[in-house]
Amino acid sequence: MKELKWSAILEGLIVTILGVLLICFPTASASVVCTLIGVGCLIGGLVCIINYCMIDVHDIFYRNDLAFGIFLILFGLLALYKKNVLAEILPIILGLVILISGLVKLQSASVAKRIGYQGANAYTVLGVISIVLGIIIMFFLPGSVATDTLFIVIGIGMVYSGISDLYVTFFLSSKYKKFIKRWKEKMETPKVIDAEVSDEHEEDDSSEQ
């Protein structure tokens, strides 16, 4: 649980920082953005592989860190050595990142509702906004606006997604921990069953009389 939380925090920070860079330097070429993505994927892939090697053998069967790490490294190399190919679909990729962020928030909203958290609707709203931003960036902006304007809009969307991801991660994880703690306390509480105990011998004696 703790590993997943810190992984989500790291992802939120990376998305936020990349969004800030796009807003501050909108005139930067797509080549620079592709370089940042490639380096980030390489680092993320190495972290996943190292994490996989350090996982206890009892928890390793259901983890996909190794496969995901190799995929990130390959994608990072593609971003670095095929920048011209990646640059053409860069808005779609970044829009997809924002879209996936929104879908994850909707899943978090579902978890919040299942544990009885009243603020679940806020997560739903945050998720819907991210999904709408992702769809707009992917299908309506590429080719219709100037490159610098496009990067500013994408940067705003990524900053929003990153900060909202951090908000959901911090607040929902604390609520989930409290829910699990109450659930464990409830399960560990001994249940007392009231029952009347009758003496069979007394019943027999009363029947004979």
Domain map of the chain by residue range?
2-186
Closest CA to 69 of 47, 87, 86, 88: 47
State the pLDDT at residue 195.
46
Query: What percentage of the chain carries pLDDT values higher than 90?
Result: 3
Closest CA relative to residue 12, chosen from 126, 119, 135: 126
- Pick the more confident residue, 108 or 163: 163
Query: What one-character DSSP code corresponds to residue 28?
Result: S
Q: Work out the pLDDT band at 61, boundaries 50, 70, 90.
A: low
Q: What does the pLDDT read at residue 18?
A: 81
Query: Mean pLDDT over residues 35-62, rounded?
Result: 76
Confidence of residue 11 (pLDDT cuts 50, 70, 90): confident
Indicate whether 54 pLDDT > 50.
Answer: yes
pLDDT, mean of residues 41-49? 85
Place of tokens 């509480």: 189
User: Among 143, 157, 106, which Cα is nearest to 128's?
Assistant: 106
Alpha-carbon gap, residue 164 to 116, rounded angstroms: 21
| Region of residue 105 (left: phi > 0; alpha: psi -120 to 50; beta: else) | alpha
Q: Which residue has the higher pLDDT, 130 or 193?
A: 130
Is the pLDDT confidence value at 198 over 50? no
Mean pLDDT, the chain, whole residue set: 75
Is 60 within 8 Å of 85 (Cβ atoms)?
Answer: no
What residues contact 149, with CB distance under 8 A and at least 6 apart? 26
Closest CA to 141 of 187, 185, 95: 95
Q: How much is the CA Rg of the chain, to the nearest whole Å? A: 26
| Predicted pLDDT at 69 | 86
- Taking the whole predicted model, whether its pTM rises above 0.85 is answered as no
